[in-house]
Structure 1
Amino acid sequence: MKDWPYDVFPTGWYQIGYSAELAAGDVRPVKYFDRELVLFRTQEGEVALLDAYCAHLGAHLGYGGKVKGECIECPFHGWLWTHEGSLAEIPYAPGEARRVKLGAWQTREIDGLILVWYDSFGRDPWWEWPGIREFKDTAGCYPIYPQGADHIGIRKIIPQSPVENTPDYYHFMWVHGAGQPGKPLLWKEDGHFLHTRIGFVFGHGKKSTWLTPDGPVTGEIETEAWGLGLSNARFVLNGFVTSQLTAATPVDREHSQLFDTITCTREPGSDDPEPTGTAARMLEFQKGQIRQDFAIWENQRYVEHPPFAGGEEEHYARFRRWSRQFYENAAEPAREPEPA
């Protein structure tokens, strides 16, 4: 048994925050992928993530650095760095050029989330994240912020663990108290994208629950994963939809920062930005449910060759084969042997 499938961070898009929480002029020291970084928003609204240490004398820009227009100012000697990592100005030596720059990370803002692209060799993104349709549909669903933005914090969890729930049809009974396992209906791989559907009986074995007051109802859990950093579970029950995105972003070799973002179908006739009725209860219920998973993942070790049972191996094996691409494409490429 071991903690990670491979010895590299997996390539992909990762969440590093919510747009609503980073105002123009804000500066934050952050750590991801075992790197000290600085996150800031320029006065014109551009989100930037740079390597944290000033190339001049090594001051950390996240501690005392200030946004000046479209640049961040070093707190030590005032050197100005653009959001792309290039040196804009040395205030006490105007006109002097220096061939120095800071590492700049590709970021996106989509559906109210701030994302960063990670690749161990600094290559451009292989794909763009399309977002979540319910997050975009603020007429039919509640806004994700602030009620649906759940900060889990930094936990001893690897990014693969949340996505590895996708082929785990049996855990619902023990972790979430379901009356029966899920039933696989769809498994579709498309490069970096994994799309599945699971048949599920909500309220199985119970005459009535708050979610199924008239008895058990057959519904679905649709899952979508884009690499190992972003995975969404869509719970569909009699036209009522709950969409829940789990994001795990590596901080170091053992820890990830976890975000849980949720929205639900609006109550009929409601234009209130704050969830009410079934939607409000479902949001709080799902926040509790995902924490039951976190309690498992945080104390789990990665078993490379599990002794599967009950047919688990079919989709678990498919998942793990699919997941390898994000590690193997981030590993050192094989080198051709030197000619004799």
Structure 2
Amino acid sequence: MTSPKYAFLQAGHYARGWHIVLFSSELAPGEVKRLHYFDREFVAWRGESGQPCILDAYCPHLGANLASDGGRIHGDNIACPFHGWEFNGTGECVAIPYAKKIPERAKHALKGWPVMERNGFIALWYCPDDSAPVDYIPTIDDWGAENWGEWQFQRSRIRAQPCDVIENIVDIAHFPHVHGGNVQSFENRFGDYTVTQISKVKRDPEAGMITPPGLDFDLVDVRNQGAGMDADAWGDATYHGPSIMYYYTESRSPEISFRSWWVNYHTPVNDDEVDLCSAVIMSSLTDEPLPEEFTRLYPVTAHAAFGQDVLIWQDKMYREDPILCDGDGPITKLRRWYEQFYLPVG
């Protein structure tokens, strides 16, 4: 059997970098959460200081899951519910209630993972070779500002590979078939840790469109209503690393003018599944507040936009050596950029 063309297609191989695992609102002080990503079990908790921590889930003593029975938090540490062994946020065993001495092997027997809390989300630095984290995730200055509100997010576990998801950032040709719009302008820019899409896409009733199941509104009707608006809109989408995308958009029209941040991420669960999530905050571009119906519907349509792609991803196969044409966008360049997160450091 020949090896795959790209390192990111190797089984059990996951991207080095920051991966979002929770939103801050999902982990209250004193709360413990079970997580399953990268085909392994984690335990996450927030102690008295408010700092989130993530460790491998299984106690190095006799293998209990530290999240069993809701977990046991002591200050900023977590204690095993089986025998009370206590660990700090780096995975060091700091107390055994019935022992006079902590065994030397126990001091660093549990793996702690670097954690970043920023912009209202919690991200884990995944790296199989334990290289130092790189701080390439920017701050969203509008997060937490007045009139922006909280993240409205939707997460789903889907059958897809991360490489399926990230190629959307350069795929110009799918817009009029999947998302119901015609591309007016489209540009990709590549940086060391970033790839950006700057685009204008006009909603078009004549364009093709996928309608995800289970929506409580008519997505085609929403698209067609928007197509009739005289809107000046643009968007700037950037992947920061292998799995976290920021999208900033502004839209001005006689009916409504607004700006919005999206945080879209895909975190690998195993070789066959990812957790796909879209989160939205928005604000008016005028002194008038946004209509209540709009603030309710806009995040839902944002989540539905990913749902359109999911219907393709869940049934497709990944072509290592695709037949491409001159209108496809820089798919091969994107793959070479993405490969860096799977190759050894140095």
For 2:344 and 2:311, how far apart are their aligned partners in 1? 30
- Corresponding residue to 2:310 among 288, 294, 302: 294
* CA deviation map 1:112-145 (0-9, x unaligned): 10100111111111233114344x153253321x
How far did 1:5 drift?
Answer: 2.9
Change in Cα spacing, 1:304 to 1:222, as seen in structure 2 (3 Å) is same
Q: Does residue 260 of structure 2 align to residue 237 of structure 1?
A: no
- Corresponding residue to 1:110 among 109, 118, 128: 118
Q: Which residue of 2 is the match for residue 82 of structure 1?
A: 88
Q: Does residue 172 of structure 2 align to residue 169 of structure 1?
A: yes
Change in Cα spacing, 1:214 to 1:10, as seen in structure 2 (3 Å) is closer
Q: Which moved more, 1:191-200 or 1:261-270?
A: 261-270
Q: Which residue of 2 is the match for residue 308 of structure 1?
A: 324
RMSD of aligned alpha carbons: 2.6
Q: Which residue of 2 is the match for residue 139 of structure 1?
A: 146
**Counting helix residues as a fraction of each chain, which structure ranks higher?**
2
Q: Which residue of 2 is the match for residue 337 of structure 1?
A: none
Alignment of 1:62-77 (within 5 A): 62-64=67-69, 65-77=71-83
For 1:59 and 1:70, how far apart are their aligned partners in 2? 20
For 2:270 and 2:54, how far apart are their aligned partners in 1? 17
* CA deviation map 1:143-194 (0-9, x unaligned): 21xxx12122x2112223222111111211111122x23532x322220111
Amino acid at match of 1:142: G
Q: Which residue of 1 is the match for residue 339 of structure 2?
A: 324
The answer to whether the Cα contact below 8 Å between 2:184 and 2:200 also exists between their aligned partners in 1 is yes
The answer to whether the Cα contact below 8 Å between 1:200 and 1:218 also exists between their aligned partners in 2 is no
For 2:65 and 2:123, how far apart are their aligned partners in 1? 22
Amino acid at match of 2:74: K
The answer to whether the Cα contact below 8 Å between 2:136 and 2:193 also exists between their aligned partners in 1 is no
Amino acid at match of 2:79: E
How far did 1:299 drift?
Answer: 2.1
For 1:169 and 1:321, how far apart are their aligned partners in 2? 18
Alignment of 1:125-136 (within 5 A): 125-134=133-142, 136=143
Give unpaired runs (5+ residues) of structure 1.
334-340
For 2:139 and 2:162, how far apart are their aligned partners in 1? 19
Give unpaired runs (5+ residues) of structure 2.
208-222
For 2:287 and 2:163, how far apart are their aligned partners in 1? 39
The answer to whether the Cα contact below 8 Å between 2:136 and 2:240 also exists between their aligned partners in 1 is no
* CA deviation map 1:55-95 (0-9, x unaligned): 11111111133111111111111111111110111101144
How far did 1:218 drift?
Answer: 4.9
Alignment of 1:54-65 (within 5 A): 54-64=59-69, 65=71
What is the count of residue pairs matched by the alignment? 319
For 2:226 and 2:129, how far apart are their aligned partners in 1? 47
Structure 1 SS opposite 2:68: coil
